[in-house]
Amino acid sequence: MSKYTLAAEIRELLNRADSVKTLALLAEDGSPYVIFAPGLHVDDDGRLVYPEAFEHSQANAHLVRSIWFDQPITAALLAADGRSFQIFCKPYKAVISGPVYEHYYRQKQQRNENFSLSTIWLIDPLSITETSDAVRGVESESDRMPLLHLDRIAVKAVG
């Protein structure tokens, strides 16, 4: 069971096929590495689940590095209604065998015989931030001097 509980609405958005999901990982040199992760979803324990297809992919290597060296990863979520969220996470487990692995294996096999499946990554969410413009604008700009281009407050010429 994950220690941090994602709200039911977020869990639902993560499990929807029309949501866009990405994972931001850290490469060895510290540079960001971002992948689209349509398979990212939430399990019954509240953990994020990411099935990685390829054993030797950069994404898999970065995830291994993350679980080995306690490095953070970030999942980003763009809902169909335009709202967006960042979920700060850490990998909890690399599932490479057993019933959970075999469940996803069979699922993939039924969809496409030429599938690949390396690892089912179970990922603990640690916190979440909404990154929709309306929300983050209020959060970041309140109490600050406005960044406002003058043309936007200029008296409009008549005629």
Query: Cα 68–27–38 angle (5° rounding)?
Result: 90
How many Cα atoms within 13 Å fall on the side-chain side of residue 41?
A: 12
Closest Cα partner for 95 from 115, 121, 70?
121
The CB density around residue 4, as the number of other CB atoms within 10 Å, is 14
The CB density around residue 60, as the number of other CB atoms within 10 Å, is 18
Q: Which of 61, 78, 126, 135 binds other proteins (CB under 8 A)?
A: 61
Binding-site string for other proteins from residue 71 to residue 100, where x marks contact by CB under 8 A and - marks none? ---------------------xxxxxxxx-
Q: Residues binding other proteins: what is the number (CB under 8 A)? A: 22
Q: Which of 53, 67, 128, 135 binds other proteins (CB under 8 A)?
A: 67
Segment lying near other proteins (by CB under 8 A), choices 18-26, 80-88, 104-112, 145-153: 104-112
Q: Quick check: 37 and 50 in contact, CB under 8 A?
A: yes
Q: Which is nearer to other proteins, 109 or 129 (CB)?
A: 109
Interface residues toward other proteins, by CB under 8 A:
28, 61, 64-65, 67-69, 92-99, 101-102, 105-106, 109, 117, 119
